[in-house]
Homo-oligomer: A and B are copies of this chain.
Amino acid sequence: MDIRFQNARILTMEEPLQLLPGELWVRDGKIEYAGPAKTPDKPFDRTIDAAGDILMPGFKNAHTHSPMTFLRSLADDLPLDKWLNEQVFPMEAKLTPADIGPLTRLAILEYLTSGITAAFDMYMFPKEVAETCAEAGFRVVLCGSVNDFSSSPEELGRDHETYNHFGPLVSHQLGFHAEYTTSEGRLREIAALSQKFGAPVYTHNAETKSEVEGCLERHGMTPTQYFEKLHLLDFGGGFFHGVYLTPDDIELCAKRHIAVVANPASNAKLASGIAPLTEMLASGVTLGLGTDGPASNNCLDMFREMFLATALQKLRLSDAAALDALDVLRMATVGSAQAMGLSDCARLTPGSEADVVRLSMHAPNMQPENHILKNIVYSGSKLNVRMTMVRGKILYEDGEFFIGADPEEVYAQANAIVAQKRS
């Protein structure tokens, strides 16, 4: 469906960031035009009066584990090791491929309410995640999660070819779980895959202090330095969390074009720490933003992440001027997209994929209009998301979902899966 939005305030995410009053035209799933009001040559299927609302690129959730919705609020307020070993791992061991569809669909519903149009999804069962996202019309970049206990470098290589030729909404990046869960042999095989495909590599890195200390004991160097030594970083890539990256690590990230994806809510809730985002930004590191999985967060809300990204920097540095809200907006859109290897869906420019959200200005938390872009970061909420569109298709509008599944049925299926695993 080709759609013409009128009376919008458009944030294309082109620099310098600003809101342009005018129209946005979506044709054949792409942005045809963004600019001042004018008369189109060809008709549209639908015209939407945006009534002064914001149209901007959808948020890109650059680190998540979507199917973990089933663990939400299962075991909070526990020390990290108890949470992982006594709750998360035993429950995950019971998952079957048939569970993945409903659990992923539940995450997609929530993403859409938060204006998220793409997820960088690291989990087992890539086939089911890919199929579910494609069916829903939701954009996903699958991230390999090889470790010593699941998947393998061979499977990762096959997945990389399969899911980069799966369809327009699906792509795949090489990845492994973490240094502390993956043997050097496997890491060398993954490095060989990176050389073979000329492809970047992604992993959890420096999420906790003990993880980095463990690597220092095992290898006499930080995980980042170790990955560099193994040639895992030769084609760029990304680190999830990055809470305990050292200044040298950060320099290396900048040099090797390694993006860092921040997960401030998860790192706070699990008491892991606050990532040095300000220093990374100053060093020229590309920063993305992610929710992490719903087991650790527990919600999938980019507004919460955006506020936390800047508020926690301010706390960490005792500086109310740290990490400007506009930098946070960049992280949640173009930065995340770059981290995920998505090149053409993070700006509302002609020819780009039409991944668009509409944020209501007709809401008390967005008023008055002193600085609308800062309102998005500091006072914006899911309540402002009136529409979420992926590749030109509206998947969420005014509280209704259009992903080809009944939300009530998704909730029932998720609860049935939980009941079965807990029994």
Residues of chain A at the chain B interface (Cβ within 8 Å): 69-74, 76-80, 83, 106-107, 109-110, 113, 265, 267-271, 273-274, 294, 297-301, 304, 307-308, 310-312, 314-315, 317-325, 362-365, 367-372, 374-375, 378-383, 407-408, 410-411, 414-415, 417-418
**B268 and A314 contacting across the interface, CB-CB below 8 Å:** yes
A78-B320, A375-B72 are known contacts. Are A407 and B364 too (CB-CB below 8 A)?
Answer: yes
**A379 and B73 contacting across the interface, CB-CB below 8 Å:** yes
The residue that A411 contacts in the complex, of B298, B307, B362, B375, with Cβ under 8 A, is: B362
Closest residue of chain B to A76 (Cβ to Cβ) is B374
The 7 closest A-B pairs by CB, nearest first: A299-B379, A109-B364, A110-B364, A268-B311, A298-B378, A73-B374, A73-B371
A367-B106, A371-B74, A407-B364 are known contacts. Are A379 and B298 too (CB-CB below 8 A)?
Answer: yes
**A381 and B378 contacting across the interface, CB-CB below 8 Å:** no
Most chain B C-beta atoms within 10 Å of own C-beta, residue among A269, A310, A380, A381: A381
Complex Cα gap A383–B382 (Å): 6
Jot down 7 A-B pairs with beta carbons below 8 A, ordered by A.
A76-B378, A77-B320, A113-B365, A273-B315, A299-B365, A299-B380, A362-B411
User: Which B residues are in CB contact (< 8 Å) with A107?
Assistant: 364
Within the complex, the shortest CB–CB distance from A340 to chain B, in Å, comes to: 22
**A318 and B364 contacting across the interface, CB-CB below 8 Å:** no
**A271 and B317 contacting across the interface, CB-CB below 8 Å:** yes
User: Which B residues are in CB contact (< 8 Å) with A298?
Assistant: 374-375, 378-379
Closest residue of chain B to A81 (Cβ to Cβ) is B320
Within the complex, the shortest CB–CB distance from A397 to chain B, in Å, comes to: 14
The residue that A365 contacts in the complex, of B301, B315, B365, B370, with Cβ under 8 A, is: B301
A73-B378, A371-B74, A381-B301 are known contacts. Are A320 and B79 too (CB-CB below 8 A)?
Answer: yes
* Other contacts beyond A271-B315, A297-B378, A368-B418: 17, CB < 8 A: A70-B368, A72-B375, A73-B379, A77-B310, A77-B321, A78-B321, A113-B364, A113-B383, A265-B311, A268-B312, A271-B317, A274-B315, A301-B365, A301-B379, A364-B410, A364-B411, A367-B414
Complex Cα gap A117–B353 (Å): 43
User: Which B residues are in CB contact (< 8 Å) with A308?
Assistant: 311
Within the complex, the shortest CB–CB distance from A128 to chain B, in Å, comes to: 18
Within the complex, the shortest CB–CB distance from A385 to chain B, in Å, comes to: 8
Closest residue of chain B to A415 (Cβ to Cβ) is B368
A299-B378, A415-B369 are known contacts. Are A77 and B113 too (CB-CB below 8 A)?
Answer: no
User: Which B residues are in CB contact (< 8 Å) with A374?
Assistant: 73, 76-77, 298
Closest residue of chain B to A314 (Cβ to Cβ) is B271
Complex Cα gap A69–B83 (Å): 41
Closest residue of chain B to A320 (Cβ to Cβ) is B271
